[in-house]
Structure 1
């Protein structure tokens, strides 16, 4: 797999640290909760009622962080059999066109993610069908911050959000806007990574958005190993 050079800008380093740290923490959290549930179930005939839902949310966060991280390390799969029939200048134009489509797609995903999450966060959705032309006017009847998840209880240290998001009413479970926040955040990261990739294509430091020919390289490596035997 191709590995681009380390980010040189402060913003690039900051985003890189967020992605790699969160992916490690999410994997660790999923492993610990699952392991604890197995021990409790088979050792003590009990378990964490909220464990399955928590692991589900952690996995969703992992996937959405992974989507943007895979753009960074060019791990998304693609087919270049037809593209390779053209000359390098034409391939570069095609790659830039593909990057433009990816930017538009990521932008639409970000708009849709914000509009979905805003329902649960007492925030206005964007107006406009494709391009955001502003924000809708919010009325108290439109607030959905009281929606809770099914099993995960609200930690005591999060009680401060109740007067802000739930008009002082107590939450029994964590409100949905917390786990759902990964939707706009993850799509913003994806858009940022596609902007980076497009810049690399434009200045000639990258040739494609997709993975390198890792499979062919592995086949060649195995072939050389067999020839050595």
Structure 2
């Protein structure tokens, strides 16, 4: 699990570069192209973002403004840091499956990413341009790639984000981590480079 996001992000980036490169070579060199290459890259980019969210929490790379809470006493600062991690976790849980909010009187037409994905799983809708390879078409029962295949990342990515937010929450509460966001990167860079222009 430690290298899961890193490996998938590397694979997705590599696939995006390969698809774009091959498409450019085919388009300008041979006046042809890959059907659905643009749609595939768009889907891969969405997957990259949703995997990147959890990876950003894991390494503390999400940007945030902490100048106000840093002026608070240490116990109050930690309370706000815990609240921030809890809010990130709650946001992910609401987006994964929000029907439980009806307890508080909230109403919605859908139940979040899981409900959205299940609806597409039940429908035989295909993507616009992306088609299955010929050897998979009979097994899939249609030519175009099912939408649920592309949208599978919604519950998976949000689930990973919820898990990493819960980990950050525990680490902050135990004092092993300061914040869920990137902490004072700009100040660290200024301090590291303050003597560069002196010469």
The TM-score normalised by the length of structure 1 is 0.77
Report matched runs for 1:87-102 at 5 Å: 87-102=73-88
Q: Does 1:192 align with 2:172?
A: no
For residues 58 and 155 of structure 1, the distance between their equivalents in structure 2, rounded to whole angstroms, comes to 18
Name 2:125's counterpart in structure 1: 147
Q: RCO (CA 8 Å, sep 6+): is it higher in 1 or 2?
A: 2
Deviation at 1:17, TM superposition (A): 2.2
**Aligned-partner Cα distance in 2 for 1:97–1:195:** 11
Classify 1:157/1:200 alpha carbon distance in 2 versus 1 (closer, same or farther; 3 Å): farther
Counterparts of 1:148 and 1:54, CA distance in 2? 13
Report how far residue 175 of structure 1 moved: 0.5
Write the mapping of 1:1-229 to structure 2, written as runs, cut at 5 A.
Answer: 14=1, 16-111=2-97, 112-122=112-122, 144=123, 146-159=124-137, 161-162=139-140, 170-227=141-198, 229=199
Structure 1 unpaired stretches of 5+: 1-13, 123-143, 163-169
Residue aligned with 1:224, SS: coil
* C-alpha RMSD of matched pairs (Å): 1.4
Residue 225 of structure 1 deviates from its aligned partner by 1.4
* Structure holding more helix per residue: 2
- The unaligned stretches of length 5 or more in structure 2 are 98-111
* Secondary structure at 1:120 match in 2: helix
The count of residues paired between Structure 1 and Structure 2 equals 185
